[in-house]
Amino acid sequence: MITLEKVCFAYEHEVALRYIDLHIEKGDSLVIQGPNGCGKSTLIKLLNGIIFPSEGYYFYKDHEITEKALKDRQFAKWFHQQMGYVFQNADTQMRLPEAEVRERTEDCLQLFGIEKLRERPPYHLSGGEKRKVSLACILSLNPEVLILDEPLAGLDEKTQDMLLTFLKDFHRAGKTLITITHNRQLAEELGT
């Protein structure tokens, strides 16, 4: 489903990814670990079509993902609905019918137990509440692939347990999960 072939990427003259080959099948759960500065976040940005290989190729479901391909609005909308990316910093919508947006929003608010946050402005939310809202927004799109950068950061223990259970269920439902984490327990729980 996701294939990288000899992918390279550099920020000006600093190489972040060098000849990366990667193949992820539908339904895989992949955990990416490594020290700060090793290219984890760069890889995730590339998988989400935020940046593009300077060399090599990136394919998603046999479609090459390039800057030119994502200039096609219909293709870009389809691709970004497929890839749900939850940033580590929750401060950082696809066009759907209003009724469907409302229904999906209600389902996700209930899933995360955050109905009470419905009317609160984002600047009045705690870090953990922002993380829950961010996850709910992404999940309302029902992505095929869920990409998380340090998903447990800033969450209390009860919410971490709830999120871990949810992620396992998401994966058991046949969805693809890609997680960046320094948390060994999370890596052991989600890695396959």
Buried b (16+ CB within 10 A) or exposed e, 89-116: ebeeeeeeeeeeeeebeeebbeebebee
Token pair of 125 as six digits:
């939310």
Percent of the chain beyond pLDDT 90? 45
pLDDT digit string, tens, across residues 126-152: 877 877 787 787 887 789 999 988 888
Q: Is 25 helix (H, G, I), strand (E, B) or coil?
A: coil
SS3 for 164?
helix
Give the amino acid at 78.
W
Bridge-based pairing state of the strands 29-32 and 176-180 = parallel
Kindly state the percentage of the chain with pLDDT values over 70: 92
Total-model pTM: 0.82
From CA 110, how far away is CA 140, in angstroms rounded? Answer: 12
The per-residue pLDDT for range 28-54, each reduced to its tens digit, is 999 999 888 899 989 999 999 999 999
Please report which helix (H) or strand (E) contains residue 179, including its range.
strand 176-180
Strand partners, 55: 8
State how far the alpha carbon of 39 is from the alpha carbons of 28, 91, 134, 180, in Å. Answer: 21, 22, 23, 11
